[in-house]
Chain A
């Protein structure tokens, strides 16, 4: 598990990027209305950081800052082109007032 930050450090509708995972893949952690979600930070289409994208709280989704595919934060599924491949989702664990991420064992897919 990777410790991300203390609960409350990510404002609602915002995200942080955690640079280091054991496989070197950066992860983005989102706060949507007090619930936390973690997905691969790099868009499955090209090289963009999803943590920098606009968070659509109503749909629990993030819009890629580059070509604007929306990814569902719960499933990692893209809502439309250009991305066609889902990003991985990771498990968020809140423990002792801290936000942690347990990385998915699935291999990251690249488009």
Chain B
């Protein structure tokens, strides 16, 4: 797609997906001077809301739905055409543009399309028992929250960020909480074994039972409701509530047959894009959790399923779409970034970690469980590629800038 082809011919842009990336795309279109029509198509009936609090303050009951709204008073002036509660099921070319096909048969014609359909929570095969939850949407959070009552026994399957955050929230609510993680440590994937083990100790100090290095072989039920979790080593755990936190699946099925592909050919790994959101189709860009892009620190194509990416990247993608100059992003802000909050502490990660990277404690103490504060730097072939910090924003900020120097 060239700028000459797109500039001046864009009258209608359809943004599919009304999460953070979709809303940020619409705002960025206006900020970059697009005066045409913007149609926002989203299958959730809710106005755009923020997902991170769903496992934190919202789940804890400290925040209400109004507090997690992403909308701002200024959005009213953006003149957006909202189609909430409508699901896109197909995308086909028509003339020089596109038609987004909706579930009930209608087609939305558009000159440009922004794919921002995000991801959904991965489920266990045959996950049908009552009391078994995943956490991705506001409705999911409301359903889970209703079951986190004092005395409940909660088992969390999967010790990634979402599982760890739910554990922190639940145990603080006085719920008997167990996390089961197949890897040798909690958060071992994103953080490595040493930092992951330190995270597990923090959770244990707050009363969470952490079982690592063991998989889940199945769930047991009684009268259609979950009663326990069976582990691969033969143990079984009693459970009144189970949360499955085993990652996410990009919402890309509706793009089948368009010619768009994913990193390994099919779309199951996300929509493959250039770093600026360009796809293989002219007049179609993609952004947020549904995409797979070359990661500067991973050195390969990965999905970046984090808030800052879904907030920042849409401006780059829509700039390409309408042929406007892309807004400049400061180098430090280009280092992929994720935060987490557990037990009232701030956790920050930037860059990338993969097995085999060398983890070095550069500051603080991994064993201080009462007031955890430390920084771990990950190196690959001697070069820093990632940094993880707990309660040390200044040290973290310095390292994030150190990593930024490696971006050309």
Contact = CB atoms under 8 A, between A and B. Distances in A.
Question: Which residue, of B72, B308, B393, has the highest number of chain A Cβ atoms within 10 A?
Answer: B393
A66 B339 contact: yes
Nearest to B339: A67
Interface string A33-73: 00000000000000010001111100100010111101000
Contacts of B312: 80-81
Contact of A52 (B72, B337, B394, B398): B394
Interface in B344-399: 346, 348, 393-394, 396-398
Interface string B276-311: 000000000000000000000000000000011001
B330 interface: yes
A68 B400 CA distance: 11
A21 interface: no
A82 interface: yes
Nearest to A50: B393
A68 B330 contact: no
- For chain B, what secondary structure do more than half of its interface residues adopt (helix, strand, loop), or is it mixed? helix
Contacts of B337: 68
Interface size class of B (residues with CB under 8 A): 20 to 34
B400 to A, nearest CB: 8
A107 B330 CA distance: 30
B18 interface: no
A84 B24 CA distance: 12
A92 B199 CA distance: 42
A26 interface: no
B333 interface: yes
B329 interface: yes
Interface string A98-111: 00000000000001
Interface in B320-339: 329-330, 332-333, 337, 339
A53 B400 CA distance: 13
Given A66-B339, A70-B333, A82 B311 contact: yes
Contacts of A59: 330
A68 B398 CA distance: 12
A53 B394 contact: yes
Contacts of B24: 81
Contacts of A54: 393-394, 396-398, 400
B394 A66 contact: no
A63 B308 contact: no
Nearest to B395: A54
Given A53-B393, A53-B397, A81-B24, A66 B308 contact: no
B380 to A, nearest CB: 23
A82 B307 contact: yes
List the 4 closest pairs (A to B, CB-CB), nearest first. Answer: A54-B397, A65-B393, A81-B311, A54-B394
16 contacts: A52-B393, A53-B397, A54-B396, A54-B397, A54-B400, A56-B332, A56-B397, A63-B332, A63-B393, A66-B346, A67-B307, A68-B348, A80-B311, A80-B329, A81-B24, A84-B72
Given A56-B401, A68-B333, A68-B348, 5 more contacts: A53-B394, A56-B332, A63-B393, A66-B339, A80-B311
